[in-house]
C-alpha cells in the first residue's frame, strides 16, 4: 500500500495538518523542559481531529523515542531503589488504564480528560507547598495512579515528579523520572501492541509523519532550559492547559445538550 493510501484514514485539510504538527511541536517543547506533559498539551488539540483512543497510542509511540533520548545523557544519576519501588505499581496502573481506554465510550473519555487536565492545572497553579519528604509507602498510590493516568490520558508523569522530588536531589529526581517514563512508555507500548492497536498501519504512518515535529519541539525545549526559568515556563503552559481542560468540558456539555 502506498503512503497516500496509509494516510487516507486521516482526511484533514492542509490547515488541519499544520495545527496537528504545531500541537505536537508545542507538546514536545514542554517535554524537553519539564520531562513530561505531552498529552496535557497535545491532547486538547488532537482531540479536535481524532478520538482519545487513537491519540494516547500515537503519543506513546512518539514518547518512546523522546523519553529514551532524554534518558541516555543522565542515566548514571538514576536512583535504582526508587525506580524499582515504583515500577511494579506503575505497571499495574498502566494495565488498568489501557483496559479503561479501549472500553469506555468516547464522549465519557472526553469529559474525563477535561476534568483530569483541569484538576492537574488547578493543583499546579494554586497549591504552592509541596511535600518536603514523602514516605516510601507513597510509591504505591503514586506509581499506580501515575500508571493509570499515563495509559488513560497519556500523562501521569507529574505524580512521579511529586514523589521523586520529595525524596531525591534535583538531578537524581529528573534522571529517575526520565527512566520511569521510559519504562512506562515501554509497558504502555507493549500493552497497546498486545491489544492490537498497532496493527493499524495508518496510525504507525501518522506517528512517522509527526516525528519531525516532535524532534523540533525537543530541540527547542532543550534550548529553552538554558535561557528561561523552568518554573516560569511551566507555569505559563499550565495556564494554557487549564484553558484547554475547561474547553474540553464545555465541548462535552454542548455535545450532550
Show me where the domains of the chain are located.
3-256
Residue 199 pLDDT exceeds 80: yes
pLDDT in tens, 70-95: 555 556 778 888 889 999 999 999 89
Q: Ranked by mean pLDDT, which of 41-55, 60-74, 119-133 comes out on top?
A: 41-55
pLDDT for res 132 = 65
pLDDT for res 121 = 81
**What distance in Å separates the CA atoms of residue 129 and residue 124, rounded to the nearest whole number?**
10
Residue 180 pLDDT exceeds 90: no
**Three cell numbers, residue 231:** 518554573
Q: Which of 198, 204, 193, 192 is nearest to 3 (CA)?
A: 204
Q: What percent of the chain has pLDDT over 90?
A: 14
**What distance in Å separates the CA atoms of residue 57 and residue 77, rounded to the nearest whole number?**
29
175: Cβ contacts below 8 Å, ≥ 6 apart = 71, 74, 75, 76, 77, 78, 79
Amino acid at each position: 500500500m502506498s503512503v497516500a493510501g496509509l494516510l487516507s484514514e486521516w482526511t484533514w485539510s492542509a490547515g488541519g495538518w499544520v495545527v496537528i504538527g504545531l500541537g505536537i511541536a508545542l507538546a514536545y517543547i514542554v517535554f524537553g523542559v519539564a520531562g513530561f506533559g505531552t498529552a496535557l498539551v497535545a491532547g486538547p488539540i488532537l482531540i479536535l481531529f481524532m478520538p482519545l483512543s487513537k491519540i494516547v497510542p500515537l503519543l506513546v509511540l512518539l514518547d518512546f523515542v523522546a523519553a529514551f533520548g532524554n534518558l541516555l545523557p543522565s542515566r548514571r544519576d538514576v536512583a535504582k531503589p526508587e525506580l524499582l519501588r515504583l515500577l511494579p505499581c506503575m505497571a499495574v496502573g498502566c494495565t488498568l488504564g489501557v483496559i479503561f481506554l479501549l472500553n469506555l465510550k468516547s464522549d465519557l473519555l472526553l469529559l474525563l480528560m477535561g476534568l483530569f487536565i483541569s484538576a492537574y492545572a488547578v493543583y499546579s497553579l494554586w497549591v504552592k507547598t509541596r511535600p518536603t519528604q514523602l514516605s516510601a509507602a507513597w510509591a504505591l498510590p503514586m506509581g499506580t495512579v501515575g500508571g493509570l493516568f499515563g495509559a488513560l490520558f497519556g500523562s501521569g508523569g507529574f505524580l512521579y515528579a511529586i514523589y521523586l522530588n520529595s525524596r531525591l536531589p534535583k538531578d537524581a529526581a529528573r534522571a529517575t523520572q526520565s527512566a520511569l517514563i521510559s519504562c512506562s512508555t515501554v509497558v504502555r507500548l507493549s500493552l497497546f501492541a498486545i491489544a492490537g492497536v498497532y496493527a493499524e498501519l495508518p496510525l504507525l504512518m501518522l506517528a512517522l509523519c509527526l516525528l519531525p515535529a516532535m524532534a523540533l519541539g525537543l530541540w527547542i525545549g532543550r534550548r529553552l532550559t538554558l535561557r528561561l526559568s523552568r518554573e516560569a515556563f511551566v507555569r505559563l503552559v499550565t495556564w494554557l492547559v487549564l484553558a484547554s481542560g475547561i474547553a474540553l468540558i464545555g465541548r462535552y456539555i454542548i455535545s450532550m445538550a
